[in-house]
Amino acid sequence: MTKRVLLLFAAVATFAMGVSQGQVTRARSPIRIPDIPGYRTLKCDFHVHTVFSDGNVWPQIRAEEAWRQGLDAIAITDHIEYQPHKDDLPINHERSFEIAKIHGDDLGVLVLKGSEVTRKMPPGHFNAVFLKSSRVLDVEDWRDALRLAAGQGAFIFWNHPGWTGQQPDGISRWYPEHTELLEKGQLHGIEVVNGQDYYPEVHRWCLEKNLTMLGNSDIHDPAGLVWETGTVGGRPLTLVFATDRTPEAIREALFARRTAVAVNGMLIGRKEYLEPIFKGSIEVLNPSVTVRGKRSAFVQISNVSDIDYDLSGEEQFEEVSVPSRLVLKGGKTVLLQLQGKSETLDMKKTFDLRYVVTNLKITPDAGLEVTFPVSVTFAPE
Amino acid sequence: MTKRVLLLFAAVATFAMGVSQGQVTRARSPIRIPDIPGYRTLKCDFHVHTVFSDGNVWPQIRAEEAWRQGLDAIAITDHIEYQPHKDDLPINHERSFEIAKIHGDDLGVLVLKGSEVTRKMPPGHFNAVFLKSSRVLDVEDWRDALRLAAGQGAFIFWNHPGWTGQQPDGISRWYPEHTELLEKGQLHGIEVVNGQDYYPEVHRWCLEKNLTMLGNSDIHDPAGLVWETGTVGGRPLTLVFATDRTPEAIREALFARRTAVAVNGMLIGRKEYLEPIFKGSIEVLNPSVTVRGKRSAFVQISNVSDIDYDLSGEEQFEEVSVPSRLVLKGGKTVLLQLQGKSETLDMKKTFDLRYVVTNLKITPDAGLEVTFPVSVTFAPE
Amino acid sequence: MTKRVLLLFAAVATFAMGVSQGQVTRARSPIRIPDIPGYRTLKCDFHVHTVFSDGNVWPQIRAEEAWRQGLDAIAITDHIEYQPHKDDLPINHERSFEIAKIHGDDLGVLVLKGSEVTRKMPPGHFNAVFLKSSRVLDVEDWRDALRLAAGQGAFIFWNHPGWTGQQPDGISRWYPEHTELLEKGQLHGIEVVNGQDYYPEVHRWCLEKNLTMLGNSDIHDPAGLVWETGTVGGRPLTLVFATDRTPEAIREALFARRTAVAVNGMLIGRKEYLEPIFKGSIEVLNPSVTVRGKRSAFVQISNVSDIDYDLSGEEQFEEVSVPSRLVLKGGKTVLLQLQGKSETLDMKKTFDLRYVVTNLKITPDAGLEVTFPVSVTFAPE
Amino acid sequence: MTKRVLLLFAAVATFAMGVSQGQVTRARSPIRIPDIPGYRTLKCDFHVHTVFSDGNVWPQIRAEEAWRQGLDAIAITDHIEYQPHKDDLPINHERSFEIAKIHGDDLGVLVLKGSEVTRKMPPGHFNAVFLKSSRVLDVEDWRDALRLAAGQGAFIFWNHPGWTGQQPDGISRWYPEHTELLEKGQLHGIEVVNGQDYYPEVHRWCLEKNLTMLGNSDIHDPAGLVWETGTVGGRPLTLVFATDRTPEAIREALFARRTAVAVNGMLIGRKEYLEPIFKGSIEVLNPSVTVRGKRSAFVQISNVSDIDYDLSGEEQFEEVSVPSRLVLKGGKTVLLQLQGKSETLDMKKTFDLRYVVTNLKITPDAGLEVTFPVSVTFAPE
């Protein structure tokens, strides 16, 4: 059979096969962030809107997007009080969850029932998740709404405390109302990240007041208008360290403050969670190397996660120079170069290479400190 | 200022700047398909659904997607008869157009009023575009519905005639009902392409019966679940060759059959439209070259369109060998290699290099024939 | 600190950080093709050129490219007889290996010593790998050259038997000279793939004559001019199923014919190797599903390899419809949709879903047959 | 013909067609930076190495890379004094230019003859371009070398003055030797950018001392190991504003200081060149809009260049709010949102929207100031 004949068939077949430019395959892209000892690392988004408040997609789309983007769980949290579509779509606070859940069940994505209590500041907007009924929150006084949510066993968190719609200067402010809620046991966490906004003040409050840190998308539009199709990392996530992949285990972990926030390749959270994620991602493939004279030896570091870890270090050694910056690319192996400083050295020594992972933020001002022990045999060239 | 200091500021600033992984910028990606002499080449999609029938987005999203994807016009064509959301969202046949049009007006995208008359085969599904009222089509008999559409001056076309939902073997069939509609002047065009499906039989009917060719997305889900964000070419388009960028000019062009179909980097249409598109895309940068002995000379061909033109040719010449396949990549310049066959030739000759552009289909079986005249000076090496 | 201040610092810092458009990070991209029981799957290329024959890079670049592209081993195989750079670069048959090996040792890439014996057809070009000396092959008679290679214990294979430079019609031909070499024990394998060319005849010969199958790049230019930076799959590979990641283990596996060929997302090889690669790549996440009435249930299939497996099946079942084509995307999870055919079915049944993986070629005409057992509980909706 | 049959042919044909994963097409990607009034904007790199000094590619590869990356001209500038390959490849200072030029002539890329005079600091490394002979620069005293270069009419510039190999703290220092060269007329320009390094001090010197600004790659490895294949922007460029696309016109422009530097989506240069580049890139599609009450109107701004212009502005208006940051994406159209502040305004007014383009650096501390006049009709909603 000649090439020409094949070519003609191929031209026809291209169409039939659906091999097509720019076409998206229906597929789930797993988010590679490792589990930690004792817990599964679940990727969750607890702040999601649909056409049943001011969102722009039919609810099942939220489950489909979550499945494709590798999420384990989402909460549907339409506004109680803000219903701009109501002249076309009669208010039904329970309905978006019902529709999304059917699709989630088909695809194995956990869909949780929530609502956004939407009030002026103070106290602002709050999500209540793990509700039994949403419509009972549709009351005049916000104190009643949050009390009724708490009464259902809901996990309640304060949304986007530095949102410029309620804080024109973008600075989060803590009001007496928040102290009141905290004392009543009706405030369990806060969004440290909402969409693309990070609130350093809030990060600090969570550490000081022992609150759960959340990072959520607050998505209104279809995901494809917000994040590149098929990429990982754009969508803000609450990482939940849970004993199981069930709604109950997620709820338990949220109340126990076992969360971290992932957004734009950055992780925000307590050291006890970020450190094992880093350790579970990284493998030093050859921790013992030989440096000959002033030549270089290369320690290879593999990173099986999807996170690019960005390391900075100040330390240098008398015997070898080491990089002051090193990016451990997600899914790749990179080189840590050790360059000899003497032609004649003949000895063996172990160095503890200390770095700060600047994109693992354990406080607003501090990255995670990590150490790589490297054993170097020095030999003349 | 030292590097270290800069580094720290940068780490903080990344967040504030919203320089973020996988984040989509709100931007319009122009589709580069050239205008043709006398007409603008408008990129249109006349088959689009919203939550107001069985689609999954609020109508304004359709205008936003169209703007970002570089379209000039869309028709909102929700089903009249198929209303699976009606228990949640009361039927209102006029409403999706109204909502989408406000957003389209803001962004300069033409939003046209249409409806899909949705009946069993024969005669199947039909879109009527440029309607004044949609609700009047909500009648029992399909003959009445199409008559009332035609009475409003609508442009009416038959949708996906080979859809496996109505033709299990995927083969389009022409029924007496279609002859009846054609004779009554109530059938003006047919979808040669619907979504990812191409119907060669229909392509032939359009040529034989002098009907307008259409290629539409029939999109129900958000665009980001169907096509890669920011790519050009996945979404099927009806190219409309119009005197102006107005609804009236589009309507005139549709009735005058001045259209072609673009999908997956392929164009389908009459030679009179595809030939000037090709000519407007391509420039031979150096049509005169010198071939020395058995060395090669290179004619450079620039393609300013977004279409990869795929050329095949059978002809070879006594004096030079020329490529039998050549892909003129969209937005790039490629080389047409002319290799000498003799060490000693000393002459000048013009060659008409004839190719078939296999992805410009002027019939189901034939690509567009094109010729490049190349002037070659032969000299000993 | 206000947003504006951050912005200014960020603009300066961008430069200092080297956060730069289109810049390549020095990183190794692992090729995810699983090991098989008893053996490691090593990714090798046994046909590579440098400036020391007609290649265009200094030898160390070949080790760097191999490391970045995730290869385990390469053979440097410069031509003995073809030395177009010799007026600038004096002939030294041993030297390209020596230079490449130093860089390979630094990066942990195995660099093997080879040469290409480059003669007219018959018998054509041959690579000898695991040489001790290359220069001894620089003799007049090709019989002597191959005898001297075999005498060093080299693994010898015939290169690109269908190369149009020696076979103008592109068809591979077996000559008496090849029978002679085979009988002398001086022909151990053949390239089934060279660069982008696949030779089905050769694939068949390897099966019939029990020869080792090889797939090599035959690269002359820098890799970045040939394959997209950072992508996996473009470079042809010989997969070697070895007991260890050492030159000795590779040599043993080559002589034992434990290889397969990977190119353009296709694998070519014996069933005994392709089947465990497929099985090691795929996991059916939920092999038991419930189909309610005419609704669909979804079996999720995860593929941890980098290969998109392309499945075709003809079988359908009375109780459920199953897809006739399914692409298991590399690194993703996809859905196998089971759609019920009856409203009222109430039973449990296990189906063996049989497919052919069309891009795993166990003969030139046959893909690998695979079966997914799926247990379905049917219930009324 | 059924789908199944097509599928089988397609599977075979894929190979024959060379439609292959990750394969690079040999194509030129034009760099879209507009010409300016009176001059063509030529994209040049005047600092390029090959195997004939310490580079790692055969010289013709440099012309091929330049053609593919859309460059107009390169200078081959191998080191005179640094010849690490000399034991394998005998020193020949003229040869790399000769080899590269043949390939450049075939592809229409201008290849210029240069050399790098490579001395310790002070005075450091210097490129001399437009040489007649390189070997005459191989003398002991650097004063002689530069005098002999100048005597040939060469354009001479100081390379990477802040290179940490000669300035461990990365700070560029001006020595008396540089004053001496300047006064002798043997120093015509300096690299403001070398590879990924930008030297703000040098930027300032060029403005103060009226020297030509250069930005060059100083590439040693194959381009594909340094920049992503097919992307624009990673490779540093000297933009030369020349009357013609010839070596003579480039030389004239260099001596006349008509250059700017492009790197990582940033342009560095004198206002008289950056301003017309910006103006030639940008078109305001609808400079007159209507703002109804507190709704928004959108001015659409198209950018036909490949540069993402990053605009910051501080100004706000009483009647409308305007964005304080706006990224005009290369090749796209973006929205400038004007939001009304009053329900009742009924007037017409023209606003001069003033921004600083932060990535067009006319001094180390200042971006280019630009103004968009926008005419707004205010109307009640």
DSSP code string of B2-55 = -HHHHHHHHHHHHHHHT--TTBPP-EE-------BTTBEEEEEEEEE--TTTT-
Q: How far apart are CA D261 and CA D216, in angstroms?
A: 8
Distance of CA D51 to the CA centre of its chain: 25
Who has greater pLDDT, D17 or A333? A333
Contact A300 C335 (CB under 8 A): no
Which whole-number Å values give the CA distances from D329 to A110, B43, B305, C373, D337, in the listed order?
Answer: 38, 21, 19, 50, 15
Report yes or no: B333 and D25 within 8 Å, Cβ to Cβ: no
Contact D106 B297 (CB under 8 A): yes
Q: Which residue of C has its CA nearest to B6?
A: C13
Confidence (pLDDT) at A106: 97
Q: Name subunits touching D (3+ CB pairs < 8 A).
A: A, B, C
Nearest CA-CA partner of B44 in B211, B261, B264: B261
Nearest CA-CA partner of B240 in B38, B43, B75: B43
Contact A26 C335 (CB under 8 A): yes
Please say if the pLDDT value at position A163 is more than 50: yes
Query: pLDDT-derived band of residue C231, with 50, 70 and 90 as boundaries?
Result: low
Give the tokens for residue D93. 């200072």
Contact C17 B9 (CB under 8 A): no
Which whole-number Å values give the CA distances from B34 to B43, B307, D271, D285, in the listed order?
Answer: 11, 10, 34, 18
Q: For the segment A4-56, what is each residue's pLDDT rounded down to a tens digit?
A: 222 233 333 333 333 455 678 899 999 999 999 999 999 999 999 999 999 99
**Each residue of B160-174: b (16+ CB within 10 Å) or e?**
bbbbeebbeeeebeb
Confidence (pLDDT) at A280: 98
Contact B10 C3 (CB under 8 A): no
Number of H helices, E strands in chain D: 8, 21
Instruction: Provide, as residue numbers in chain B, all residues whose Cβ is less than 8 Å from the Cβ of D293.
Output: none
Confidence (pLDDT) at A228: 75
Please say if the pLDDT value at position D110 is more than 60: yes
Distance of CA A342 to the CA centre of its chain: 45
Report yes or no: C275 and C368 within 8 Å, Cβ to Cβ: yes
Give the tokens for residue A2. 């000649």
Give the tokens for residue C15. 């430069």
Report yes or no: A193 and A263 within 8 Å, Cβ to Cβ: yes
Please report the ipTM that was assigned to this predicted complex.
Answer: 0.93
Contact B13 C13 (CB under 8 A): yes
φ and ψ of A133, to 5 deg: -130, 135
Q: Which residue of D has its CA nearest to A10?
A: D10
In chain A, residues 296-325 whose CB comes closer than 8 Å to chain B: 310, 312, 314, 324-325
Report yes or no: B377 and B290 within 8 Å, Cβ to Cβ: yes
- Provide the percentage of residues in chain B whose pLDDT is more than 90: 88
Distance from the B3 Cα atom to the nearest Cα atom in chain D, whole angstroms:
9
Q: For the segment B305-346, what is each residue's pLDDT rounded down to a tens digit?
A: 999 999 999 988 999 999 999 999 999 999 999 999 999 999
Q: Is the dihedral of CA C143, C149, C154, C159 positive or negative?
A: negative
Nearest CA-CA partner of C188 in C253, C103, C261: C253
Give the tokens for residue C279. 């099985």
Give the tokens for residue A167. 């804080």
Contact C61 D64 (CB under 8 A): no
Q: How far apart are CA D70 and CA D72, in angstroms?
A: 7
Q: Which residue of D has its CA nearest to A2?
A: D16
3-state secondary structure of B107: helix
Q: For the segment D340-354, what is each residue's pLDDT rounded down to a tens digit?
A: 999 999 999 999 999
Q: Which residue of B has its CA nearest to D28?
A: B333
Confidence (pLDDT) at A1: 23
Please say if the pLDDT value at position D15 is more than 70: no
Cα D323–Cα D329–Cα D332 angle in degrees, nearest 5: 110
Distance of CA A224 to the CA centre of its chain: 18
Q: For the segment C270-288, what is each residue's pLDDT rounded down to a tens digit?
A: 999 999 999 999 999 999 9
Q: How far apart are CA B279 and CA D176, in angstroms?
A: 60
Count Cβ atoms within 10 A of the Cβ of residue A293 and give its class: 0-12 exposed, 13-18 middle, 19 or more buried.
Answer: middle
Whether the upstream peptide bond of residue D30 has omega within 30° of 0, thus cis, is no
Q: Confirm whether pTM is higher than 0.90.
A: yes
Of D3, D28, D327, the CB nearest to B25: D327
Does the beta carbon of A25 lie under 8 angstroms from any beta carbon of chain B? no
Q: For the segment D21-66, what is each residue's pLDDT rounded down to a tens digit?
A: 567 889 999 999 999 999 999 999 999 999 999 999 999 999 999 9
Of A21, A24, A263, the CB nearest to B225: A24
In chain C, residues 338-377 whose CB comes closer than 8 Å to chain D: 358-359, 367
The full set of domains in chain C, from first to last, is: 27-269 (3.20.20.140), 281-379 (2.60.40.10)
**Each residue of B325-349: b (16+ CB within 10 Å) or e?**
ebbbbbbbbbbbbbebeeeebeeee
3-state secondary structure of C158: strand
Contact D9 A14 (CB under 8 A): no
Give the containing element (helix H, strand E) for C66. helix C60-68
Report yes or no: A278 and A357 within 8 Å, Cβ to Cβ: yes
In chain B, residues 133-192 whose CB comes closer than 8 Å to chain A: none
Helix B95-107 and helix B60-68, axial crossing angle in degrees, nearest 10: 40
Does the beta carbon of C225 lie under 8 angstroms from any beta carbon of chain B? no
Cα A19–Cα A23–Cα A25 angle in degrees, nearest 5: 90
Contact B106 D296 (CB under 8 A): yes
Report yes or no: C366 and C347 within 8 Å, Cβ to Cβ: no
Of A28, A107, A333, the CB nearest to C332: A28
Instruction: Provide, as residue numbers in chain C, all residues whose Cβ is less than 8 Å from the Cβ of D325.
Output: 7
Report yes or no: A323 and A300 within 8 Å, Cβ to Cβ: no
Of C26, C285, C332, the CB nearest to A334: C26
Mutate to test the interface with B, among C6, C12, C324, C325 (most CBs of B within 10 A): C6
Give Cβ neighbours of residue C71 (< 8 Å, ≥ 6 apart).
C31, C43, C44, C45, C109, C235, C237
Cα A288–Cα A294–Cα A296 angle in degrees, nearest 5: 45
Whether the upstream peptide bond of residue B276 has omega within 30° of 0, thus cis, is no
| Phi-psi map region of D339: left, alpha, beta (phi>0 left; psi -120 to 50 alpha) | beta
Q: For the segment B166-193, what is each residue's pLDDT rounded down to a tens digit?
A: 998 889 999 999 999 999 999 999 999 9
Q: Which residue of B has its CA nearest to D19?
A: B327
Q: For the segment A129-160, what is each residue's pLDDT rounded down to a tens digit?
A: 999 999 999 999 999 999 999 999 999 999 99
Q: How many CB atoms lie within 10 A of CB C56?
A: 23
Find where tokens 């109680």 sit.
Answer: A80
Please say if the pLDDT value at position B21 is more than 90: no
**Each residue of C319-336: b (16+ CB within 10 Å) or e?**
bbebbeebbbbbbbbbbb
Instruction: Provide, as residue numbers in chain A, all residues whose Cβ is less than 8 Å from the Cβ of B312.
Output: 4, 7
Does the beta carbon of C284 lie under 8 angstroms from any beta carbon of chain A? no
Count Cβ atoms within 10 A of the Cβ of residue B221 and give its class: 0-12 exposed, 13-18 middle, 19 or more buried.
Answer: buried
Give the containing element (helix H, strand E) for D301. strand D296-303
Q: For the segment A219-264, what is each residue's pLDDT rounded down to a tens digit?
A: 999 999 998 765 556 899 999 999 999 999 999 999 999 999 999 8
Find where tokens 């019609």 sit.
Answer: C169
Report yes or no: A8 and B219 within 8 Å, Cβ to Cβ: no
